[in-house]
């Protein structure tokens, strides 16, 4: 997936969600992108994607701490709300829309 395709997926999911603000590109290089999305229920989500390595990461940040996350470093896994230091394996990848849905359910 290209950086622009990834960015479009993030914007589409954020616009469709009642808890997401407009994504902001924090950093863009030739091979990676960092975005931030404010969350109306508190905090923000930092998003990272590297086009070369296909590394993807989402982290919900509140009070300067990750309280929920998901990434594919070493295989797709979740850092759950009740213990974000843990790595709970996933059977497949997690899209940003799915990540936001988990926040909405919390």
Q: What is the pLDDT of residues 8-48, one digit of tens each?
A: 999 999 999 999 999 999 999 999 999 999 999 999 999 99
Is residue 90 scored above 90 in pLDDT? yes
Question: How does DSSP classify residue 26?
Answer: E
Average pLDDT, the chain: 96
Is residue 106 scored above 90 in pLDDT? no
Show the DSSP H helices in 2-106 as ranges. 3-16, 96-105
Average pLDDT of span 64-76: 96
Which of these, 43, 48, 73, 50, lies nearest to 58 by C-alpha position? 48
The Cα-based distances of 4 to 23, 28, 34 in angstroms read 13, 10, 12
pTM above 0.85, yes or no: yes
């Amino acid at each position: 997936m290209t950086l622009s395709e990834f960015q479009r997926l993030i914007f589409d999911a954020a616009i469709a969600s009642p808890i997401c603000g407009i994504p902001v590109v924090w950093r863009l290089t030739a091979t990676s992108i960092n975005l931030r999305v404010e969350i109306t229920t508190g905090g923000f989500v930092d998003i990272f994607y590297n086009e070369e390595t296909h590394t993807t990461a989402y982290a919900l940040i509140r009070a300067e701490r990750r309280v929920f996350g998901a990434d594919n470093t070493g295989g797709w896994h979740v850092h759950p709300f009740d213990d974000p230091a843990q790595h709970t394996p996933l059977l497949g990848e997690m899209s940003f829309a799915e990540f936001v849905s988990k926040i909405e359910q919390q």
